[in-house]
Amino acid sequence: MTEQHTLLWESGQSAAPLPPLVDSSGVQAEVDAAWSRGTLSWEQLKQMPDLHGAMMETLRRYPVAGGHRARIARPLTLAGYRLEQGLDVEVAMTVPHFLEELYPNPMQFDIDRFRPPRNEHRKPGAYAPFGLGNHTCLGAGIAEVQLLVTMATLLSIYALQLDPPDYHLVIEEHPTPIPGNHFQVQVRERRLSSRPEGRI
Ligand code: HEM
């Protein structure tokens, strides 16, 4: 479900006409080049910075879990607030994803944020789509691989577009931000010819 949520956003960004992620970035070229070399391997995936950036930016901009519940084990004072033992708190760990001082123009979908020299995510607490601390997501690694492989597979088979192409994205909170009910992506073109025969 968490991966479906992320893929939904990522395919929406890939299909968005202005600016089209796939056409204006190297994502499609990377995907085509990788498949043209044969089966999609881990080595190939590590050499796809645009696809990786698109995945990371999707998880930053549209995090599945905005926060998590915690119970105060020992009393403490945090930023002037006294938190007593046993108190339930919500740790909104993805708030930093939207801070201008960490991510300039934070609402902008920008897949180059994570490349050197920018490395905007490389500050303590700046990037937490999989949580932070002792209970960080145990499936983060497998989730990332599945997201990369699924997007690379989809983009190698289909050219996507918004339906209708001029659809203006509406964001609804349920409670995490998801595309509104009328959000649809349609297949503009089947691109199976770009794939080595028989490989899915
Ligand atoms: C896009 C996909 C995913 C996202 C965004 C995601 C995100 C998260 C988040 C935010 C947490 C809570 C971390 C915290 O409390 O600080 C979590 C916990 C967890 N996730 Fe994921 N997750 C994803 C996929 C997966 C997958 C595929 C697996 C298993 C194969 C998995 C296994 C777990 C487990 C076991 C925990 C609990 C860790 C603990 O409490 O110690 N997750 N995940």
Overall average pLDDT of the 191-196 stretch: 61
pLDDT at res. 117: 97
CATH number for the domain harbouring residue 117 = 1.10.630.10
Residue 197 is assigned to a structural domain of this protein: no
Quote the number of domains for the chain. Answer: 1
Answer yes or no: is 74 within a domain: yes
Please indicate, yes or no, if residue 195 is contained in any of the structural domains. no
Whether 122 maps to a domain, the answer reads: yes
Q: Which atom of ligand 1 is the closest one to the Cα of 5? A: 1
In the predicted model, what is the mean pLDDT of residues 51-74? 91
Asked if the structure places residue 30 within a domain, the reply is yes
Ligand 1 binding pocket mutation candidate from 7, 130, 178 (most atoms within 8 A of CB): 130
For residue 20, the model assigns a pLDDT of 47
Q: Is the model's pLDDT at 11 over the cut of 70?
A: no
In a domain, 165, yes or no: yes
**Half-sphere exposure (Cβ direction) of 187: Cα atoms closer than 13 Å:** 9
* Residue 134 resides in a domain: yes
Ligand 1, CB within 6 Å, residue ranges: 2-3, 6, 64-65, 68, 129-133, 135-139, 142-143
Whole-model pTM: value is 0.87
Examine residue 200 and state whether it is found in any structural domain, yes or no.
Answer: no
- Concatenated DSSP letters of the chain: -HHHHHHHHHHHHHH-SSS-HHHHSSHHHHHHHHHHTSS--HHHHHT-HHHHHHHHHHHHHS-S---EEEE-SS-EEETTEEE-TT-EEEE-TTGGGG-TTTSSSTTS--TTTTSTTT-TT-STTS--TT--GGG--TTHHHHHHHHHHHHHHHHHHEEEEESSTTPPP-EEESSSEEE-TT--EEEEEE-GGGSPTT--
* Per-residue pLDDT tens digits for 30-60: 998 988 888 888 888 989 999 999 999 999 9
- Rounded distance, CA 31 to CA 28, Å? 5
Parent domain of 121: 2-190
pLDDT tens per residue across span 85-140: 999 999 999 999 999 999 999 999 899 999 999 999 999 999 999 998 888 999 99
CA of 19 to the centre of ligand 1 (A): 31
Please name the residue whose Cα sits nearest to atom 37 of ligand 1. 137
